[in-house]
Structure 1
Amino acid sequence: MSTGKGRKRIKDTPVLYDEPKKKRGVMLTDTAWHSVQELAVTNNVSASEYLEELIRKHCVTEA
């Protein structure tokens, strides 16, 4: 997935999706968190973006 490289980032303006991201809290074990971080590095994205892609791929339905 493109990271929006070359596109100017403007606060509260979505770059990759049609809606802006909001700060959320998720509780994970250390094992799960380290796995997310390793998978994110492998996929050249942040941990947040990795989780976003994972959830959208498997769980999001069109409204």
Structure 2
Amino acid sequence: MFTRKGQKGLKDTPYYYDEIKQQHAIYLTPTAWNDLKRRAKEKGISISEYVERWIRDTVR
């Protein structure tokens, strides 16, 4: 389980992975975006983290 409870965020410091995240852009329909937001909210994580976990789980 991923958790950083009690840890203060530090810039350019990876928490869960061996590398820091970088900003990227993708284009989605409003329907897909709203679905991502809903799913991430249900898990209590950001959309970015939801996509990261989805991709990492898919390629394993």
Q: CA deviation at 1:2?
A: 2.1
Q: Measure, in 1, the Cα distance between the counterparts of 2:3 and 2:25.
A: 23
The unaligned stretches of length 5 or more in structure 1 are: none
Which residue of the partner structure matches residue 29 of structure 1? 29
Unaligned runs of 5+ in 2: none
After superposition, what is the alpha-carbon deviation per residue over 1:33-52, rounded to whole angstroms, capped at 9, x for unaligned?
00000000111101111000
Aligned length: 60
Question: In proportion to residue count, which structure has more helix?
Answer: 2
TM superposition score normalised by structure 1: 0.85
TM-score calculated relative to the size of structure 2: 0.89
Which residue of 2 is the match for residue 19 of structure 1? 19
Moved over 6 A (4+): none
Alignment of 1:1-63 (within 5 A): 1-59=1-59
